[in-house]
A and B are shown apart, each in its own frame.
Chain A
Amino acid sequence: MIRLEKVERVFQVGEETVYALRQVDLTVEPGEYVSIMGPSGSGKSTLLNILGLLDRPDRGIYRLEGVDTTELNDSRQADVRRHKIGFIFQFFHLIPRLTAAENVELPLTLAGVEARQRKERVAEALARLGLADRARHRPDQLSGGQRQRVAIARATIMKPAIILADEPTGNLDRASGNEVIESIEGLNREGMTVVMVTHDPDLGQRTHRQVRMLDGRIEDDRGGGS
């Protein structure tokens, strides 16, 4: 499903050239539950951004479901993000002026789904995450855990093949963090591929496969099927 071949990403910081990713090869099969760990600056966020088509590699090839994404133009890439990828962020990134339901509805709206069908799917998604009674609340009226679950509902509303989570519990206390992780693991059990970047070793232990990065290279890759 995900296949990275010799992917490199280089940043120019002042006069210094920083290699965020060096010759990274990575394959993720459908339904896998992968964590990416490593110290700050090891390239794990850059890797996630490239997987999510938010960033383009400088060299190398990224195939998603057999399609070479590096060849796609801006709007085709947006198409892929819309239909195949769901993002979960450390800082939730909910739009403050919209209610929980409207935030969840956003990907459907962007995809041009009919209003009535949108409402049905949003209600369903919120109910599944235990947020039915929070639909009309705005983000500032929700707790951190609830906000992140709204974000999960938004990430999954398009039924994407891949969930990319960047420190999904980084901004939550342990109890709400656990709820969020359980929600994500529930998605994985339903067959979604989950790739999660985390600092938290306990969280890393829960995933089936752990990828450890250092200085832009994959240092260690354990638990994978292949």
Chain B
Amino acid sequence: MKPEDTLSFAFRSLRGYPLRTGLMLLAMAIGVASVVLLTGLGEGARRYVTREFTSLGTHLLIVLPGRSETTGGPPPLLGQTPRDLTLEDALALLRSSAVGRVAPVMVGSAPVAREGLTRETLILGSTAEMAAVRGLSMAQGRFLPPGDISRAEALCVLGHKLKTEIYGNASPLGRFVRIGERRFRVIGVLAPKGQSLGVDISDVAIIPVASAAALFNRASLFRILVQARNRDAISRAKQAVLDIIRERHDGEDDVTVITQDAMLATFDRIFTTLTLAVAGIAAISLAVAGILIMNVMLIAVSQRTGEIGLLKALGAPGGQILRLFLSESAMLSLVGALLGLLLAGGGLRLAGHLFPNFPIAAPLWAPLAAVGVAVSAGLIFGVLPARRAARLDPVAALSRR
């Protein structure tokens, strides 16, 4: 029997039982579609997080006061609190050649008021470097000017949302707002950047770090943002930061340095693993679809014993009958898988339409793997029924009506 005749015979027998064939196709399609859609969701989550981290800035290191690791020894009963990070610490970091820019950050909360409108807002005290380190861009005006960072100039930059809340559509440039007990001149408005890892960067006011120190009456920094000179300098910069701070803090390792790349890599790993796990769970539905194909093909074999007996009497060897039934399983799983891909494609488009901010997209391997697994499941689970058909005793098969 020619291969094309085998295929057309298998195709006609599938078409002969439309309900059964339709149900098996549906099962296969749902299996493949769920694999592709779930990997698409996982991949989307990974891309989302990666994008959020990248939007923090590039080659970024974050220096936090305190050590996040346990060092052993007695519990800190005698008040082993970490030393504060100071402005001088931040400036000292610039001694390293691996460090490009340094932006100290002081954080507090204060009411921002203008002509009776008051809004309790997050206040960031920083320097001109912050715009470059965090990748901030301006909608209006300019950022904090460079200069002596110990000078407490009464200037401020407003986040986009804060500006809208207190000025509406009017331009705030050159106007004065009251932050706490002091008046600040507005010199710029940040471009809307949206959420950045939960911190709404559009609902803040940024003032010079010296002004913030005066406003909150403290000298300790919340953290220091460090930008390495380039990608290769990141690990050198991290070591330099640790060395410089240790030297300044009497030999104590009392800061934690987080590199953005390490965080990115960690999240990347977590989400890739998550995607694989979800895909694996979805692949179970493919196995279920394969078992369904096996069951239905077994029923088909027992319903079609007369036909199989006849084919044997007409001179079809066992191998030919095996090929006929395997072709049916293969065709079912392949067509079902293609339908599943169409379904998944539609689902991904719909999701992209409903959530334009969420970069949902299945990686290329997902549809390939799903179709591969679907077809192999169809073939593997098709072997048992096909072998049963091939081994059928023709006399017994023909004696049944």
A residues with a Cβ closer than 8 A to B are 49, 52, 54-55, 74-75, 78-83, 85, 87, 89, 91, 93, 95-98, 106-107, 109-112, 154
Task: State whether B311 touches A110 (Cβ < 8 A).
Answer: yes
Task: State whether B316 touches A91 (Cβ < 8 A).
Answer: no
Cβ-closest chain A residue relative to B5: A109
* Stretch of B154-162, B228-236, B317-325, B359-367 with 4 or more beta carbons under 8 angstroms from chain A: B317-325
Inter-chain CA distance A110–B307, complex, in Å, is 14
Q: List 25 A-B contacts (CB under 8 A).
A: A49-B395, A54-B313, A54-B395, A55-B394, A78-B312, A78-B316, A81-B315, A87-B313, A91-B306, A91-B401, A93-B307, A93-B309, A93-B398, A95-B307, A97-B13, A97-B15, A98-B12, A106-B314, A107-B315, A109-B1, A111-B1, A111-B315, A112-B1, A112-B2, A112-B5
* B62 on interface, CB distance cutoff 8 Å: no
Q: A93-B309, A97-B12, A97-B13 given as contacts; is B315 within 8 A of A55 (CB)?
A: no
Cβ-closest chain A residue relative to B400: A91
Inter-chain CA distance A106–B306, complex, in Å, is 15
Residues on A with beta carbons closer than 8 Å to the beta carbon of B394: 54-55
Inter-chain CA distance A145–B12, complex, in Å, is 26
* B122 on interface, CB distance cutoff 8 Å: no
Closest CB in chain A relative to B399 CB, distance in Å: 8
Residues on B with beta carbons closer than 8 Å to the beta carbon of A54: 312-313, 394-395, 398
Residues on A with beta carbons closer than 8 Å to the beta carbon of B314: 81-82, 87, 106-107, 110, 154
Residues on B with beta carbons closer than 8 Å to the beta carbon of A154: 314
Inter-chain CA distance A75–B15, complex, in Å, is 29
Q: A75-B319, A89-B398, A109-B9 given as contacts; is B313 within 8 A of A52 (CB)?
A: yes
Residues on A with beta carbons closer than 8 Å to the beta carbon of B12: 97-98
Q: Can you list the 9 inter-chain pairs with the closest CB atoms, starting with the nearest?
A: A82-B315, A97-B16, A78-B317, A75-B317, A81-B315, A93-B310, A54-B394, A87-B313, A109-B5
Inter-chain CA distance A95–B316, complex, in Å, is 15
Residues on B with beta carbons closer than 8 Å to the beta carbon of A89: 398
Residues on B with beta carbons closer than 8 Å to the beta carbon of A96: 16
- Contact indicator per residue, chain B 1-42, by CB within 8 Å of chain A (1) or not (0): 110010001001101100000000000000000000000000
Most chain B beta carbons < 10 A, residue from A54, A80, A83, A96: A54
* B296-344 CB contacts (< 8 Å) to partner A: 306-307, 309-320
Q: A109-B1, A110-B1, A112-B2 given as contacts; is B315 within 8 A of A95 (CB)?
A: no
Give how many B residues have a beta carbon under 8 Å from the other chain's beta carbons: 26
Inter-chain CA distance A112–B316, complex, in Å, is 11
Residues on A with beta carbons closer than 8 Å to the beta carbon of B318: 74-75, 78
The one of B306, B315, B401 in contact with A110, judged by C-beta atoms closer than 8 angstroms, is B315
Residues on B with beta carbons closer than 8 Å to the beta carbon of A107: 314-315
Cβ-closest chain A residue relative to B390: A74
Residues on B with beta carbons closer than 8 Å to the beta carbon of A106: 311, 314
Residues on B with beta carbons closer than 8 Å to the beta carbon of A95: 307, 310
Task: State whether B310 touches A110 (Cβ < 8 A).
Answer: no
Residues on A with beta carbons closer than 8 Å to the beta carbon of B13: 97
Inter-chain CA distance A87–B12, complex, in Å, is 24
Most chain B beta carbons < 10 A, residue from A83, A95, A96, A111: A95
Task: State whether A81 touches B313 (Cβ < 8 A).
Answer: yes
Most chain A beta carbons < 10 A, residue from B16, B315, B318, B398: B315
Inter-chain CA distance A98–B15, complex, in Å, is 11
Closest CB in chain B relative to A217 CB, distance in Å: 20
Inter-chain CA distance A82–B307, complex, in Å, is 16
Residues on B with beta carbons closer than 8 Å to the beta carbon of A93: 306-307, 309-310, 313, 398
Cβ-closest chain A residue relative to B12: A97
Residues on B with beta carbons closer than 8 Å to the beta carbon of A78: 312, 315-318, 320
Cβ-closest chain A residue relative to B401: A91
Closest CB in chain B relative to A11 CB, distance in Å: 11
- Contact indicator per residue, chain B 373-401, by CB within 8 Å of chain A (1) or not (0): 00000000000000000000011001001
Most chain A beta carbons < 10 A, residue from B15, B307, B309, B320: B307
Inter-chain CA distance A33–B246, complex, in Å, is 111
Inter-chain CA distance A78–B2, complex, in Å, is 16
Residues on A with beta carbons closer than 8 Å to the beta carbon of B5: 109, 112
Inter-chain CA distance A192–B309, complex, in Å, is 24
Interface contacts beyond A82-B315, A97-B13: sample of 6 additional A-B pairs, CB < 8 Å, sorted by A: A54-B395, A75-B317, A79-B317, A93-B398, A95-B310, A110-B316
Inter-chain CA distance A75–B321, complex, in Å, is 12
Inter-chain CA distance A22–B12, complex, in Å, is 44
Residues on B with beta carbons closer than 8 Å to the beta carbon of A111: 1, 315
Closest CB in chain B relative to A101 CB, distance in Å: 13
Closest CB in chain A relative to B164 CB, distance in Å: 70
Closest CB in chain A relative to B22 CB, distance in Å: 16
Cβ-closest chain A residue relative to B4: A115
Residues on A with beta carbons closer than 8 Å to the beta carbon of B2: 109, 112
Inter-chain CA distance A82–B313, complex, in Å, is 8
Inter-chain CA distance A130–B38, complex, in Å, is 61
Cβ-closest chain A residue relative to B318: A74
Cβ-closest chain A residue relative to B16: A97
Residues on A with beta carbons closer than 8 Å to the beta carbon of B316: 78, 82, 110
